[in-house]
Structure 1
């Protein structure tokens, strides 16, 4: 049996009516009549009531109470609801693709209904019974608006192209939403990157991060200064309130100590930005890796001659320095069962395939043979000298040549010993792999590398301590893993294999890393 479209609309109308009614007073009474709680019903997940009372926000098991009041849900025909708000980039393609993949895998029919430019919803109907099981309500605007909706208690999940900021973090804690940076409160859903782009007929094919920052600060205004024609540069960028626009400020402009020029054409949607740049031979833009479209992506270069291009592999390993993780944030409250099942699905291998097909970078670990890493070893040879002798390079080749590199890497926040957001997610991912026995009877080698600032022996020591810190974090996270079935060692080669030039902050950041090698 399948619901007709009219029946689904009727069910959605009832859902909308209940969402309006839910903010009314209800009384929960224990079945023996001895305990009574009155308050405003904030939510019901099919099993538990969440109410705001004189004693604060309480979660009450629905099996032990009777509900009285206009806001009480229909227990017989309960429909789970989930409100999702935030990034239009994630809401346009990624999240719908995941919901449709989840529905297909779990026997639901997914029906999308568009309300206006920023609102749509997905209804999930059980394919066997024809019963409406859940409605996912979307508001797609930008990351700032997503966090605002969360703080106003109007969103269950935030889609974000940046990490939560300190002021948002403190306000969420004050509102009783818990530590939004905690393991169960934030998660990297997929990976993206900030990519400089030009039109296909523009002869410029590479740019240094320093020159990119100076161009967006208005200090470089002519293409001739970048090796192109004698023509003025037309700048395009995402709107400042979008997560990608803020990522450009954080990752390109701020490290250079500059400010964005006021003479920039701003765009709310990345696809619009890439389209405008692809049609203008003298345009320079910064876009999401997934939204480059017909434009030409530029390679990042440094004065030492090393170049880094945004690809699936370099983004996944964070070898490309301008990675942009795509986050979801959840408040510290219980979500409906079907919502929890959907979130669990997004971690699995099927979801990683969906993410990749949607044009984004998944997080499934891949093993890269040494034969496919020739350019990295070329960098090592080119950088050898008095502080990195031939003997150390020979030791590195001897240790790594029989192994494969995992695309799972670990990097640290600038000026900090704290792992960056993508690396914190990688800790959880590798820990789950250990718990599932994926690496049983195998050897994992955590290898530390450093930048070239300072004495080589000191750098190697620092890199080794970072590798040991990563191993400790993985062991702590892998609570149910049988670690006797896997060998997990650490080693370090310091500055022996640089990824980028040490002459810039972004280059040094790219070089400071802990890689995972397997055999």
Structure 2
């Protein structure tokens, strides 16, 4: 490559061109060079006049066969592209072509390799993919390998994004008399410690457990979310399935089966409500999944390296976070991330539980103060929770930081009052718990403000409040329950 005035020359291997910038591997390392300032010579130089944006997706078939194609079709409709699919011979590959609707010119090719989450990350590390589609979170060893390979920190919120939300649900046939199961019982069933429906209030019959295969993304997400602990494992007798389709089919044919499946694909099966020993009950409704009040949420992830993509790809990825895309995501059967406002009169059960389950350290005055503060406000479905045993936000909450920050940048809450409200579990004295909750609320507020780089924050009021253990969402007798209670909610007026 030579500068247009001939003063500078760069030699090396061309790694990529995004329509604007070259990536070149040189003796000085990898360089990014503005294409408008150089002339490219050599067999690898691209055709600048008929540039075609290319990107390679690899990973979870459920994402690559349904969700992303639906989003690409909607994006193409909006931006004036005809999007067509060309299937590969092996059934695991496809190419989506983006053609200008007016001229017919080819503008982009999105390549898909439909395997599983493990293979998606392997393809990324081998430079055979640009974006990973995953139904589970990045593993620590994968993050280390990515760093070593020069891909960058894939745990950074700019490198990972939650595309949509799903949930793991316990599934039974419609005629099964059992209607709910505690989280502790569910873990015991999966570990083989409870093996008869009679122990769950059902008939005297063995429980046939069905799980997704360990190599599938949702199968791995099941292992991550069930919190069996280091000393327990899934029962060896559990039947494993390569796909949700086969799991649902098998469970539907056995009245004594219990399967862990997906909210998005349960066919005619019925979901068991999750309860706690103290009586809390929740199902995977859209709002419960958005708020993570349902404990087994399963985000759908996209991971990408610290690399500049062609403009068409960047525009598509930006579109996936837009309000229009959230409606497409919902129509595809997933839970979108569009914030919803929940009025106080729709939260009667929560406030009733706050009174019924108040510990000895929570006074009537504390409850009255909470009601006085929150009554004029509405709760957003945007909620922040933390990784087990950590002050770090979990994956869904890190995505919520970005979503809320972008809403602030768009001026969605201009002239309004936004309150970050911290809650805690009931372990320990109420006073210190309230202080911890206040610190968490302040930390989340700071993270959102820092991410909202272009927002005019003078146009709204942002505050923090904390009520500690005053409004539990679950029982404190399990790690699931304590994690659900340690949260920061966002309320708006």
- TM-score category of the 2 structures, normalised to the smaller one: over 0.9
Q: Is 1:324–2:298 an aligned residue pair?
A: yes
SS of residue in 2 equivalent to 1:70? coil
Report how far residue 55 of structure 1 moved.
2.9
d(CA) in 2 for partners of 1:426, 1:377? 25
d(CA) in 1 for partners of 2:98, 2:139? 33
Aligned position for 1:12: none
| Superposed CA offset, 1:23-63 (max 9, x none) | xxxxx333444544343332221122223333332222222
Label 1:298 to 1:256 Cα distance change in 2 as closer, same or farther (>3 A): farther
Q: Is 1:366–2:340 an aligned residue pair?
A: yes
Kept in 2, the 8 Å contact 1:253–1:260? The answer is no
Aligned position for 2:170: 196
Q: TM-score, normalised by structure 1?
A: 0.92
d(CA) in 2 for partners of 1:256, 1:375? 35
Moved more, 440-449 or 206-215: 206-215
| Superposed CA offset, 1:79-130 (max 9, x none) | 1111001112211211111111110111100101221321112111110111
SS of residue in 2 equivalent to 1:290? coil
d(CA) in 1 for partners of 2:167, 2:230? 19
Kept in 2, the 8 Å contact 1:411–1:512? The answer is yes
**1:474 aligns with one of 448, 453, 457:** 448
Moved more, 402-411 or 375-384: 375-384
Q: After the TM superposition, which residues 82-231 of structure 1 pair with which residues of structure 2 at under 5 Å, given as runs?
A: 82-115=55-88, 116-231=90-205
Aligned position for 1:436: 410
d(CA) in 1 for partners of 2:279, 2:326? 34
Q: Is 1:61–2:68 an aligned residue pair?
A: no
Aligned position for 1:424: 398
Report how far residue 513 of structure 1 moved.
0.6
**1:72 aligns with one of 45, 48, 52:** 45
Report how far residue 398 of structure 1 moved.
1.1
Label 1:93 to 1:337 Cα distance change in 2 as closer, same or farther (>3 A): same
Moved more, 263-272 or 124-133: 263-272
Aligned position for 1:402: 376
Kept in 1, the 8 Å contact 2:191–2:228? The answer is no
d(CA) in 2 for partners of 1:411, 1:285? 27
Q: Is 1:296–2:270 an aligned residue pair?
A: yes
**1:51 aligns with one of 12, 24, 32:** 24
SS of residue in 2 equivalent to 1:508? helix
Structure 1 residue runs without a partner (length 5+): 1-27
Name the count of aligned residue pairs.
492
Aligned position for 1:455: 429
Aligned position for 1:446: 420
Report how far residue 385 of structure 1 moved.
4.8
SS of residue in 1 equivalent to 2:162? strand
**1:41 aligns with one of 1, 9, 14:** 14
Q: After the TM superposition, which residues 244-263 of structure 1 pair with which residues of structure 2 at under 5 Å, given as runs?
A: 244-255=218-229, 257-263=231-237
SS of residue in 2 equivalent to 1:291? coil
**1:464 aligns with one of 433, 438, 462:** 438
Q: TM-score, normalised by structure 2?
A: 0.96
Report how far residue 139 of structure 1 moved.
0.8
Kept in 1, the 8 Å contact 2:15–2:23? The answer is yes
Aligned position for 1:346: 320
d(CA) in 1 for partners of 2:200, 2:129? 45
SS of residue in 2 equivalent to 1:169? helix
Report how far residue 303 of structure 1 moved.
1.0
Structure 2 residue runs without a partner (length 5+): none
Aligned CA-pair RMSD: 1.5
Kept in 2, the 8 Å contact 1:253–1:259? The answer is no
Kept in 1, the 8 Å contact 2:169–2:271? The answer is yes
Moved more, 358-367 or 201-210: 201-210
| Superposed CA offset, 1:426-459 (max 9, x none) | 1111111112211111111111111111111221
